[in-house]
Amino acid sequence: MQNYKSLTQGLVLIIILGFQPIAFADTKETATDLTTLLRSARSVTVNKTTISDPSQFNVKKFIKKTKKNYLRSSGRKLDKSNARLMQLMEAIEFVITNAKNGKYTDKWPSGPYANKFLPARFARETGLKFTELTGGKGVLKLTTSNALLVNPDNKVDDWENNVIENKFLKGDWTRNQPYSENTANGFRLILPEYYKAGCLGCHGGENGKAIHAQPVEGHLGDFGGAISVLLKE
């Protein structure tokens, strides 16, 4: 009887341990999909017309393009059974609808890009709405190194700063490779991003020097920032 009891306890332990990597993998996949969906939507905002005049947005077309971008990037359609992905899509539609309806008029009244509906501003507003919709159990934000910071509200926390400074900015880090781990606060994933041609209109040359916390002239392919995800149970 004692041997049977020990055996069953051992099997229970194996089963529990066996499920842990699966749970980690599922959470990592969700976090990765969240970054892909945010980037898919943000790319649609890289448009001179709607940056200057967000009332020109066609919300239905925006969502359609976002889904198309997501399919191209991830290789699959959105998983409608994934609550977090659907909450992010809801946040995206909410922000674009608000922008179209003038809800952000005068929200950014000063600076070289006053009242422009910039992709980074879209991403921040979407991240805030996503956190609201998840009841604080999902956090999604753009951030960057302190040297490249433009909006103080996007400042790195200690975990993000450590990954950026000690991994992403080191010469041996694989480009576009996210870093993730379970922490005391929940599952965290952070994806590095690099300047593309569309980024340099704001972050390159003298424009970059004018807006960054320290005078920085961005160049094509340089590290520009990161998308940070926190998922709590």
In this predicted structure, the answer to whether residue 10 has a pLDDT above a threshold of 70 is no
**Which tops the pLDDT comparison, 30 or 8?**
30
Among candidate residues 194, 193, 190, 195, the one with its CA nearest the CA of residue 207: 195
**Which tops the pLDDT comparison, 143 or 19?**
143
Say if residue 122 is in the same domain as residue 146.
Answer: no
Segment 165-174 long-range contacts (CB within 8 Å, at least 24 positions apart): 168/192, 168/223, 168/226, 169/145, 169/223
Task: Examine residue 110 and state whether it is found in any structural domain, yes or no.
Answer: yes
Cα gap 87→82, rounded to integer Å: 9
Q: What is the pLDDT of residues 91-132, one digit of tens each?
A: 999 999 999 999 999 999 988 899 999 999 999 999 999 999
Q: How many CB atoms lie within 10 A of CB 66?
A: 24
- Taking a C-beta distance cutoff of 8 angstroms, is the pair 142, 123 a contact? yes
Look at the block and give the residue holding tokens 């940070």.
228
- Taking a C-beta distance cutoff of 8 angstroms, is the pair 123, 40 a contact? no
Residue range(s) defining the domain that contains residue 182? 137-233
Say if residue 99 is in the same domain as residue 170.
Answer: no
In this predicted structure, the answer to whether residue 202 has a pLDDT above a threshold of 50 is yes
If pLDDT is split at 50, 70 and 90, which confidence band does 209 have?
confident
Q: Beta strand 186-194 with 138-143: parallel, antiparallel or unpaired?
A: unpaired
pTM: 0.87
DSSP label of 173: S
Q: Give the count of domains, the chain.
A: 2
Say if residue 122 is in the same domain as residue 141.
Answer: no
The H or E element containing residue 190 is strand 186-194
Say if residue 120 is in the same domain as residue 163.
Answer: no
Task: Examine residue 23 and state whether it is found in any structural domain, yes or no.
Answer: no
Q: Given 127, 151, 174, which residue is the final one in a domain?
A: 127
The H or E element containing residue 143 is strand 138-143
The H or E element containing residue 193 is strand 186-194
In this predicted structure, the answer to whether residue 66 has a pLDDT above a threshold of 90 is yes
Task: Examine residue 200 and state whether it is found in any structural domain, yes or no.
Answer: yes
